[in-house]
Chain A
Amino acid sequence: GEDVEQSLFLSVREGDSSVINCTYTDSSSTYLYWYKQEPGAGLQLLTYIFSNMDMKQDQRLTVLLNKKDKHLSLRIADTQTGDSAIYFCAEKNDYKLSFGAGTTVTVRA
């Protein structure tokens, strides 16, 4: 979406950390989300962060939010082959989610 921007591709070695970045435009967004889409599958909610937080950690996932710069990132520690997927950043405006174009993460051995 034009309101949410992400880099399109990321290649990472197995065992390394992956960092996926996202910028959004609506400063009134209260929640920001990360979804994962595996090949041929639907979107799976990974995690979300409330806009008054600057960090959220959930096992191997760490979300960082810089509200001033409207920048959101998702860090995946110890990246595994099963993490290969498309990752979507999304912001909530009114009743709808606006998605970024998705970052395709490829994990190489």
Chain B
Amino acid sequence: DTAVSQTPKYLVTQMGNDKSIKCEQNLGHDTMYWYKQDSKKFLKIMFSYNNKELIINETVPNRFSPKSPDKAHLNLHINSLELGDSAVYFCASSLNPGLNTDTQYFGPGTRLTVL
């Protein structure tokens, strides 16, 4: 069973389009995250939700809007895609980030290419 899954795995789209990436975890975790990994492999957090509530919102353009319909899902919607949005987007989840022993589990990633 896949613990953290993302769809689609690859996404190729034109500049200016709107697209969504979906993430689901079956680990029973309360917290989910979105990370962006650029072409140089630099990995940076974008958002985090705990029990459907936003707890981390880094400096991300407001074209990016996360949505958490329930604590097992965290989707990422991107409006008006730009060339610089091309990256690999990773979803992750963890049980309780307030605990020192908390461990994040990552999905396989979604490679977004904006043409």
Contact = CB atoms under 8 A, between A and B. Distances in A.
Interface string B81-99: 0000000001010000110
Contacts of B40: 101
Interface residues of B, number: 27
Interface in B20-73: 31, 33, 40-45, 48, 50, 55-56
A42 B106 contact: yes
Contact of B108 (A41, A86, A97): A41
Interface stretch (A10-18, A43-51, A62-70, A74-82): A43-51
A31 B100 contact: yes
Contact of B105 (A1, A45, A92): A45
A47 to B, nearest CB: 11
A99 interface: yes
Nearest to A103: B41
A7 to B, nearest CB: 13
A95 B48 contact: yes
B74 to A, nearest CB: 14
Interface of B: 4, 31, 33, 40-45, 48, 50, 55-56, 90, 92, 97-98, 100-109
Interface of A: 1, 30-31, 33, 35, 37, 40-45, 48, 50, 86, 88, 92, 94-99, 101-102, 104
